[in-house]
Amino acid sequence: MSEAKIRLYVEHPLGQGQSVVLSRDQAHYLFGVMRLALGAPVLLFNGVDGEWLAEVAEAGKRGGVLACVAARRPLVIPPDLWLMFAPIKKARTDFIVEKAAEMGVRRIVPVQTEFTNAGRVQRDRLQAHAVEAAEQCGGTFVPEVAEMVRLDRALADLGDRQVMFCDEAEVGGAPALPDVAGPWAVLIGPEGGFSDKERARLQSLDQAHAVALGPRILRADTAAVAALTVWQQRLGDW
């Protein structure tokens, strides 16, 4: 059996002898679009059991079955890092979710800030982007995309989580990310930035640490990737 080229996320237990029943969409993709035949290899992961090599055991137009053959890679869970960000335009929000999944975060939390002008976010669509990113980047874990919450609510629910508060008002200042172990969140504001009130609230929290991402103002999507890079390099699994 040649090595598999297709990686698929499934919501199904994986393990020796497991058969995975495919949904109609998955069957359409594997057999209609990718033209896989009986016995063809596919890599599977479910965010829990690591990556498994499977082969096509039954193939039909509307369904099919894959049979797990061998464990390929163990589950790798990213550090306990959340990305909290204010949603922006649709395509850029999709980009942020995709990049966060690639960069390695546990959870993605859209937050409503005073200057957030994106309407409702479609959680399911964003979750599908996170799944797709994990499929493509070889990840064995898929971060959960939470429902959008108001910033004050999100800050009240932080527990002992530290916050890397990316504050455009700090531009030119030194990025001061303290060496604190444990759970963290990166917080990115909307195109309009944070309000004075929000900034004051964040500054009053011992667990929030204002940092600058260099001497230039970045767009929110760039800022998200840059902040995750800095955090991963300093405190994460890079």
Contact residues toward ligand SAH (CB under 6 A) are: 166-168, 170-171, 188-189, 191-194, 212-214, 216-218, 220, 223
- Closer residue to ligand SAH, CB minimum distance, 44 or 88: 88
In the complex, least distance from residue 226 CB atom to ligand SAH, rounded to whole angstroms: 8
Closest-CA residue to 194 (of 212, 168, 176): 168
Q: Which is nearer to ligand SAH, 66 or 220 (CB)?
A: 220
Smallest distance from the beta carbon of 121 to ligand SAH, in angstroms?
A: 17
Q: Which residue has the tokens 């053959």?
A: 69
CA distances from 165 to 27, 51, 61, 145, 213 (A): 44, 34, 50, 20, 10
Distance in Å, CB of 116 to ligand SAH, minimum: 10
Q: How far is the CB of 200 from ligand SAH (least distance, A)?
A: 15
Helices marked H in the chain? 24-27, 90-103, 123-137, 151-156, 196-203, 220-235
Please say which residue, 32 or 214, places its beta carbon nearer to ligand SAH: 214
Instruction: Name which of 17 and 172 has its Cβ closer to ligand SAH.
Output: 172
Closest CA to 159 of 143, 191, 141, 182: 182
Map tokens 């979750």 to a residue. Answer: 127
Distance CA 120, CA 87 (A): 9
